[in-house]
């Protein structure tokens, strides 16, 4: 499928081929093409730029774009035209890139940010960071403004949790803008992404609990819809029970918690989630272990279940320093490798190289420290 800017440049090329546009004729402006093809002006601008690179038009500041007086051999011009995505700055590569991220914490995100910054410094690339605080509206505004400003050559985006894909993000994918996602992927959307194999990691974590003798285990998360990391972790959790005898083993779910979602934290939401956990415990007392999709939910479970308790809590990620919070049996994602690969993939795109759509980084299971083992 042709990218949006390729469709526009091919249209103009065909008009030149059939004589509808001749040497010296004015070509439709960025605004006119954007309206005609229902795309952003960033896309129409890119289309005109690749036409210029192909030697078909010239762009005169303050006047517009015109077919060149001396056209090249059109038989040698093939469609779709493939121009450099940021032609004005190719000589300055690696240039500047932007990281759009919800937030960072000791449990997850801080190492990822540090790795991206360090890799950019190694490669001589400038890094701009925009925090979205987990709000999709802020993410959309950040992507739109960064791309529209022309100050960055590509984006690394850690998508926010949400029921819907960010329209601005999808537009950049369709436009062929240099872009790499970290931590998550967009199901069915052809964009380069670097993340943990969340299905395999969640399955391994759940199987560890099963091997420890737990027969009734519950998966705990916010609503998973359209958040690939949660959807995949839920899939892996379920898969761990596939080869177990149904009568003796049972998977349970509590996927209605919202207080840990960005922008949703409040005393009222915390109390509501604590009540949901306690009600779940009373409703399904046979559950002896939990798989929390993130560290903050593990803390929430810990608080709701109280001490002493018999249930084991496990989760994804955990602070490296026990002072920052109690350790649990957890999946440790390789944030540093994720960050390094994201930068390398983006710079490869800017060099015009083909990159894989999916890059998987390793994970490991980490047991709680002996001093806290009695808690779990």
Nearest residue to 110 via CA among 295, 261, 293, 259: 295
DSSP state of 201: H
Tokens read off for 175: 């436009």
Mean pLDDT, the chain cut into blocks of 10 residues (376 residues total): 79 91 92 85 81 88 87 80 48 76 91 96 95 90 86 91 73 82 85 95 98 96 87 96 88 93 83 96 97 95 90 91 79 96 93 88 88 44
Burial class (CB in 10 A: 0-12, 13-18, 19+), 252: middle
CA 173 to chain centre: 12
Say what the pLDDT of residue 372 is.
45
Alpha-carbon distance 100 to 141, whole Å? 11
Q: Which pTM value belongs to this model?
A: 0.75
List CB contacts of 59: < 8 A, sequence separation 6 or more. 48, 52, 65
The whole-number pLDDT of residue 374 equals 40
């Amino acid at each position: 499928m042709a990218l949006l800017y390729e469709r526009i440049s091919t249209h103009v090329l065909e008009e030149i081929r059939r004589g509808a546009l001749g040497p010296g004729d004015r070509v439709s402006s960025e605004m006119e093409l954007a309206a005609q093809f229902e795309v952003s002006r960033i896309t129409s601008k890119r289309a005109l730029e690749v036409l210029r690179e192909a030697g078909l038009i010239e762009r005169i500041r303050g006047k517009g774009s015109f077919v060149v007086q001396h056209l090249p051999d059109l038989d040698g011009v093939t469609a779709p035209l493939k121009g450099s995505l940021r032609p004005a700055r190719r000589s300055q590569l690696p240039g500047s890139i932007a990281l759009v991220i919800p937030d960072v914490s000791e449990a997850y995100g801080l190492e990822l940010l540090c790795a991206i910054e360090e890799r950019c410094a190694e490669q001589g690339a400038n890094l701009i960071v925009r925090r979205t605080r987990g709000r999709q509206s802020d993410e959309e505004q950040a992507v739109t403004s960064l791309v529209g400003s022309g100050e960055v050559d590509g984006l690394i985006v850690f998508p926010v949790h949400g029921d819907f894909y960010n329209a601005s993000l999808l537009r950049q994918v369709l436009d062929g803008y240099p872009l790499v996602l970290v931590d998550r992927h967009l199901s069915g959307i052809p964009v380069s992404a670097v993340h943990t194999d969340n299905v395999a990691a969640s399955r391994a974590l759940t199987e560890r609990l099963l091997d420890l003798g737990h027969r009734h285990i519950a998966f705990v998360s916010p609503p998973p819809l359209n958040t690939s990391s949660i959807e995949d972790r839920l899939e892996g959790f379920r898969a761990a029970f596939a080869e177990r005898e149904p009568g003796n083993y049972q998977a349970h779910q509590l996927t209605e918690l919202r207080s840990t979602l960005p922008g949703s934290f409040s005393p009222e939401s915390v109390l509501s989630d604590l009540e949901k956990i306690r009600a779940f415990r009373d409703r399904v007392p046979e559950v002896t272990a939990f798989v929390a999709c993130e560290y903050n939910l593990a803390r929430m479970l810990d608080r709701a279940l109280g001490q002493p308790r018999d249930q084991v809590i496990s989760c994804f990620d955990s602070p490296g320093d026990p002072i920052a919070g109690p350790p649990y049996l957890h999946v440790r994602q390789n944030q540093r490798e994720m960050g390094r690969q994201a930068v390398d993939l983006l710079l490869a795109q800017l060099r015009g190289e083909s990159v894989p759509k999916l890059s998987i980084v390793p994970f490991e299971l980490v047991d709680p420290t002996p001093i806290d083992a009695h808690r779990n």
